[in-house]
């Protein structure tokens, strides 16, 4: 697929600067539209005033603050997305479900950057958005930066999620100079992993300028993320492509260990599909 529209959550001040700058640079590179969404919800009054006193006084003040915050988010988005073709949207709602709804209008979500401060009323839950949006997601590393697509590592696992991730990321792979398909698993599975990795490399080669290489190795379940990131370091990967694995448990999205690490602790750009 070709990414013709991107979506990023914009926040006041410097809170979303790095991911917005990364999204803007990518939008310019792809000649794509970048939609900035300002979304912030007002906490329940009981959480602020548990005894219910002064509710009439609190409510207009909270709405005024929300309005100011969304206006500040718009100003920050305009400043940090200079040079890109942009569109602005604003809503008084929880950021995560708001982003999931607006995802219908775009091809790719851009999230991540520094962790910072916040709560469900002002910040996006990346894990919940990843599972619920129905769109691929690019996670910006904590230090920000511009996405280059010269060297791409594909974290292969023979699952629906990984197949979607490879297919969704083909437009990036078309621009790559080097692609490495990595399949890690138990010793007894090495033969089938080799066959799978070659199938994936063959499919990618029909869309990319580069002929993908494969790397298949023995790795225990507890070592996969360490071995995967070591390979990414060795090739100095610009981007890691991975399926996202998780499920809902008691109203909370529970992610697999490798997905969780790539989502929250990786120092490289990561492309996810679920």
Of 120, 140, 160, the residue that ends a domain is: 140
Of 140, 160, 188, the residue that ends a domain is: 140
Q: Are residues 207 and 230 in the same domain?
A: yes
Pairing of strands 246-249, 252-255: antiparallel
pLDDT tens-place values along the chain, 274 residues long: 689 999 999 999 999 999 999 999 999 999 999 999 999 999 886 555 555 555 667 788 889 999 999 999 999 999 999 999 999 999 999 999 999 999 999 999 999 987 655 689 999 999 889 989 999 999 999 999 999 999 999 999 999 999 999 999 999 999 999 999 999 999 999 999 999 999 999 999 999 888 999 999 999 877 888 899 999 999 999 999 999 876 555 444 445 677 877 887 689 999 999 9
How far is Cα of residue 257 from the mean position of the Cα atoms in its chain?
Answer: 16
Of 140, 160, 185, the residue that ends a domain is: 140
Q: Residue 268 in contact with residue 238, Cβ under 8 Å?
A: yes
- Tell me the whole-structure pTM to 2 decimals: 0.91
Angle at 106 between CA 91 and CA 173, to 5 degrees: 140
Q: Are residues 131 and 166 in the same domain?
A: no
| Per-residue pLDDT at 231 | 96
**Beta-ladder partners of 138:** 110, 271
- Give the residue carrying structure tokens 């993908």: 212
* Rounded Cα–Cα distance for residues 27 and 187 (Å): 42
Of 243, 246, 239, the residue nearest 270 (C-alpha): 239
Question: How many structural domains are present in the chain?
Answer: 2
* Rounded Cα–Cα distance for residues 23 and 50 (Å): 40
* Rounded Cα–Cα distance for residues 96 and 103 (Å): 11
Of 194, 252, 270, the residue nearest 19 (C-alpha): 270
DSSP 8-state class, residue 238 = S
CB atoms within 10 A of CB 247: 9
Task: Report the CATH number that the domain containing residue 242 is assigned in CATH.
Answer: 3.40.50.620
Q: Are residues 73 and 134 in the same domain?
A: yes
Q: Are residues 180 and 80 in the same domain?
A: no
> In which domain, by residue range, is 107 found?
5-140
Non-local (6+) Cβ contacts of 245 within 8 A are: 159, 161, 255, 256, 258, 259, 274
Q: Are residues 269 and 200 in the same domain?
A: yes
Q: Are residues 89 and 181 in the same domain?
A: no
- Give the residue carrying structure tokens 């390979």: 231
C-alpha pair distances (Å), 258 with each of 99, 204, 226, 228, 229: 24, 23, 9, 9, 10
| Buried b / exposed e along 144-179 (16+ C-beta atoms within 10 A) | bbebebebbbbbbbbeebbbbbbebbbbbbeebebb
Q: Are residues 157 and 135 in the same domain?
A: no
Q: Are residues 133 and 182 in the same domain?
A: no
Q: Are residues 103 and 157 in the same domain?
A: no
DSSP reduced 3-state for 171 = helix
């Amino acid at each position: 697929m070709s990414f013709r529209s991107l979506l990023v959550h914009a926040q006041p001040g410097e809170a979303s600067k790095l991911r917005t700058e990364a999204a803007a640079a990518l939008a310019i590179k792809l000649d794509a539209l970048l939609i900035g969404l300002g979304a912030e919800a007002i906490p329940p009054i009981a959480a602020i005033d548990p005894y219910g006193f002064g509710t009439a006084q609190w409510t207009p003040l909270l709405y005024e603050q929300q309005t100011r915050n969304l206006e500040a988010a718009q100003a920050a988005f305009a400043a940090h997305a200079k040079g890109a073709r942009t569109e602005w949207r604003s809503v008084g709602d929880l950021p995560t479900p708001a982003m999931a709804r607006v995802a219908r209008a775009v091809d790719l979500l851009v999230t991540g950057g520094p962790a910072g401060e916040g709560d469900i009323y002002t910040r996006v839950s990346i894990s919940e958005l990843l599972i619920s949006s129905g769109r691929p997601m690019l996670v910006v590393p904590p230090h920000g930066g511009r996405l280059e697509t010269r060297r791409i590592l594909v974290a292969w696992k023979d699952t629906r999620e990984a197949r979607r991730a490879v297919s969704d990321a083909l437009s990036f792979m078309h621009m790559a100079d080097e692609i490495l398909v990595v399949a890690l698993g138990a010793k007894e599975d090495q033969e089938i992993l080799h066959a799978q990795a070659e199938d994936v490399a063959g499919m990618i080669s029909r869309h990319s300028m580069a002929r993908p290489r494969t790397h298949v190795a023995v790795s225990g379940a507890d070592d996969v993320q360490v071995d995967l990131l070591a390979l990414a370091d060795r090739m100095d990967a610009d981007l890691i492509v991975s399926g996202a694995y998780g499920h809902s448990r008691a109203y909370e999205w529970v992610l697999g260990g490798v997905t969780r690490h790539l989502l929250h602790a990786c120092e490289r750009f990561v492309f996810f599909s679920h």
